Amino acid sequence: TGFAADVLTLYPEMFPGPLGVSLAGRALGEGGWSLRTTQIRDFAEGRHRNVDDTPAGGGPGMVMRADVLARAVDAVSPENDSRPRLLMTPRGAPLRQARVRELAAGPGVVIVCGRFEGVDERLIGRRQLEEISIGDYVLSGGEVAAVVLLDAVVRLLPGVMGNDLSGLTESFEEGLLEHAQYTRPPVFEDEAIPPVLLSGDHAKVDAWRRADAEKVTRERRPDLWAARRDTEGRK
Ligand code: ADE
């Protein structure tokens, strides 16, 4: 019971990392979700226990071997495992909140952390790995990306977070960035909080926040703004 995460990695000491503190860490300690790491190298053979080899066709770098990874995947995720198997890689599909929500609603995940220049394509196909990227930049491996994905998922699990922040996620899923926030003191270095926010007029506050969210989305993320107009019947 609870969300079960398996992580396959050459660096298990990178986990739980940030997932061991704060909301995710408390939920981990209380059994709200589980995290198991598997050392891929334990499934390598030979004196050197190699997990990678030179790319077929030549070229720089090293590629993770399909046979070693297959044994590691099979050890933690049988053929009938209902959990999605993910491969963290910059060539994957961009991670979005909609996929995060789907994952949080499911039984768990099996995450393979790529290293070196890539993973043998045959492993990806034969073990049905879903390739996921957390953004258009290159990390030194999939471990940090796996932590990011799990953080986004775990905060949505029932009982992990107060429902107070779920509104934040909802407005993001509406396709808008968040409006600006203020708190005390009312004046900071000669700059006052926008008076409408202190007016007590909730309708006016809502209108100000909506307008601010639209402005910040238009300015910073024209891609999100355009997608939203396309989706909502040309507003
Ligand atoms: N591994 C290296 N870079 C990555 C990225 N941007 N997303 C997911 N996994 C990665």
The per-residue pLDDT for range 81-104, each reduced to its tens digit, is: 999 999 999 999 999 999 999 999
Nearest CA, atom 2, ligand 1:
139
Nearest CA, atom 5, ligand 1:
90
CATH number at residue 12: 3.40.1280.10
Q: Which residues of 47-79 are buried (b: 16+ CB within 10 A; e: fewer)?
A: eeeebbeeeeeeeeeebbbbebbbebbeebbee
DSSP summary character for residue 21: S
Total domain count for the chain? Answer: 2
Quick check: is 224 in a domain? Answer: yes
Q: Which residues of 81-92 are buried (b: 16+ CB within 10 A; e: fewer)?
A: bebbbbbbbbeb
Query: Residues lining ligand 1, CB < 6 A?
Result: 88-90, 114, 133-135, 137-139, 141-142, 145
Q: Which atom of ligand 1 is nearest to the CA of 140?
A: 2
Domain that holds residue 73: 3-154
Quick check: is 168 in a domain? Answer: no
Residue 231: pLDDT band by 50, 70, 90 thresholds? low
Based on the domain organization, do 90 and 140 belong to the same domain? yes
Ligand 1 center from residue 218 Cα (angstroms): 27
Based on the domain organization, do 46 and 143 belong to the same domain? yes
The per-residue pLDDT for range 203-214, each reduced to its tens digit, is: 999 999 999 999
Based on the domain organization, do 78 and 183 belong to the same domain? no
Of the two residues 161 and 53, the one the predictor is more confident about is 53
Nearest CA, atom 6, ligand 1:
90
Question: Is the predicted pLDDT of residue 31 greater than 50, yes or no?
Answer: yes
Ligand 1 center from residue 12 Cα (angstroms): 17
Ligand 1 center from residue 158 Cα (angstroms): 28
